[in-house]
Structure formats: structure tokens, C-alpha cells
Amino acid sequence: MRKTVTLLVCYGILGGLLYWPAQPPLFAGANEDKIKEGSIEEILKKCAEYCERLKSAALYFVCEEKIKEIIILKPRVESSRLKVPAVTERNEYIYDYQLIKKGEDVKESRTLIEENKEKRDVKDASLKTKRFYSLKSVFGPVGFLGKEFQELYNYKLKKEGKVKGRKAYIIEVIPKRKMEDKPNYGKLWVDKKNFSVLKSEISQESLAGYEDFEKKAKNLRIRPILKTTHYYEVEKKGIRFPSKTVFEESYISAAKKRERSRTVIEYDNYRFFIVDYEVKYKGGGNENH
């Protein structure tokens, strides 16, 4: 019987869109080359195998989640007669982040330990970012490349690239049809040696809440540009863990591009307690290695 898999990653935009710049919103290609080493089908097969290892892994880790958020409340005004500096809001948060996965059960929790340079001790804290949030991002590659999800997408192999010196296949992921409660899609950098995901760029159209957000933006005659990039530079026993997420928000109005916000999340000081794999045998028993 096919096991039901729940997508464990969520990226989204918080709240709605108000008029800007007068008021702030309230919401948290290259040419294709032939790859000599293998076909896209073979690469996808290897990627699916990596995702199975990630899904079957028993995980227990703690790290520091450091967040810096800059929101431009009012843009800079500059003319021959007037110069007014931008009005910005800056927030910094540090959380003790914990994730435990055993079998199908996944628990993510945070303790807020610092907010804007002041010490805190808030257990079971929620993310306080005002423009963007990301949950359980360690499982992000599964929604792109897991065997059960591959039938939902078309994959286009682009030219090769590098991430921090590691050679990678660049793969564009495009949904075959519109999906309700869709997982994310976009572009991936896949390690050529072990087929883990080194980096991903999330298409803004796949962000949770984007459709309503886009409609409001069109009514205001502005075009949003939301760039979300995830880096997976921490490796333990063949599994890659998040190292950084960058969310950049801009708008184009009257042919001018204006930055709206920038959120940087860094994952540091990992402490690993378990990174094992659950191996299931035909006899029905299981054993951890």
C-alpha cells in the first residue's frame, strides 16, 4: 500500500496589501546544455532516492535561527527641491530552533532568546517576522523531487553551475497544471556527486497567498517581485540541512523598481543528536541504523 506523504514545508506571505508608499503592507535562464553524465530521467531517479533517504531519516537537531528583517515603510524621496530619507523598520530575532522527526511524526519548536538586542526566554514561540515565514525547510527538496511529486511537474535541465565550489545540475521545475494546496516550485541546484539539493529558488507564484496578493497589487498598478532563495550548506551523514534563506521583496511602478523588504534567516551552531535511517524489511519489522 502506498504511503501517504504530507508536505512538511511551507513558505508564505503574511497578511494583505495596502497602498504603498503611503502606508506599509501587513504581511509575514541560460541556454540549455546537454549533460554528458546522464539524462534528466536518471538524475531525477537519483534525486528521488535522496528524498527517500531524507524522508526515512530519524532527525533530532537543534540550531540557532538568526533573523534580520528590514522593512521600508516609506521610500526615499529625492528631487532638486527636496530630499527625504527613507523610513525603515529593522528587526532582529534569535531563536533556539529544534526539529524532531521520528517515523511520520515531525515536531518543530522555537525558543525566542533575543529580540532586537534584548534578551528573551519565550518557549514555544511563534515566528515574529512581519513579511515572510518559512517552516520545516529541511524537507523543502521533497516537494520538488520526491518520487510521489515528480508526476506533478515538468523538469528542464539547464546548464551546469556551482554552489560554494560544488558542481551542480541546474533544474527548472514547472507544474504540469494548476494545483490546490500546491507545493513550491522554481529552480534547483542539485549536487552532481550525491544528488542532494544545494540551493533552491522559489517561484513567487508558488508562495502561499500569492494569488490574492497579486490581485491587490494589480489594482494598485504595481508589479511585485518576490525572490526567495534557500541554501543547504550543512551536511550530516549525507543529509543536507538549511544554512540560509533570503527573501527579497520589491515592486515595479511607473517603470521604477523599489525595494520593499528584505529578510535573511541564518541557521548556525547545529547540534545533532540523531541522523539515522529507518529500514523496513519485508517481514514487517524495522530496525534503525
Q: What is the DSSP string of 226-259?
A: EEEEEE--EEETTEEE--EEEEEEEEEETTEEEE
Query: What residue ranges define each of the domains in the chain, with the CATH number in brackets?
Result: 10-277 (2.50.20)
Question: 209 or 128: which carries more pLDDT confidence?
Answer: 128
Q: Give the residue-averaged pLDDT of 201-216.
A: 83
Does the pLDDT of residue 3 top 50, yes or no? no
Q: Give the residue-averaged pLDDT of 8-36.
A: 40
Residue 28 has a pLDDT of: 31
Does the pLDDT of residue 171 top 90, yes or no? yes
Q: Are 249 and 262 in contact (CB under 8 A)?
A: yes
Residue 120 has a pLDDT of: 97
Q: Are 10 and 28 in contact (CB under 8 A)?
A: no
Give me the percent of the chain exceeding a pLDDT of 90: 57
Q: Give the residue-averaged pLDDT of 7-35.
A: 40
Nearest to 72, CA basis, from 91, 85, 86, 83: 86
Residue 278 has a pLDDT of: 61
Residue 65 has a pLDDT of: 98
Does the pLDDT of residue 107 top 90, yes or no? yes
Mean pLDDT, rounded, of the chain = 83
pLDDT in tens, 269-284: 999 998 887 655 444 4
In the block, residue with C-alpha cell 534578551: 119
Does the pLDDT of residue 266 top 80, yes or no? yes
Does the pLDDT of residue 10 top 50, yes or no? no
Does the pLDDT of residue 113 top 60, yes or no? yes
In this structure, what DSSP letter does residue 123 have?
Answer: T
Does the pLDDT of residue 255 top 80, yes or no? no
What's the chain's Rg over C-alpha atoms?
A: 21
Amino acid (one-letter) located at 20 = W
pTM here? 0.82
Residue 4 has a pLDDT of: 35
Which neighbouring-strand residues pair with 102? Answer: 105
Distance of CA 91 to the CA centre of its chain: 20
pLDDT in tens, 231-243: 999 999 999 999 9
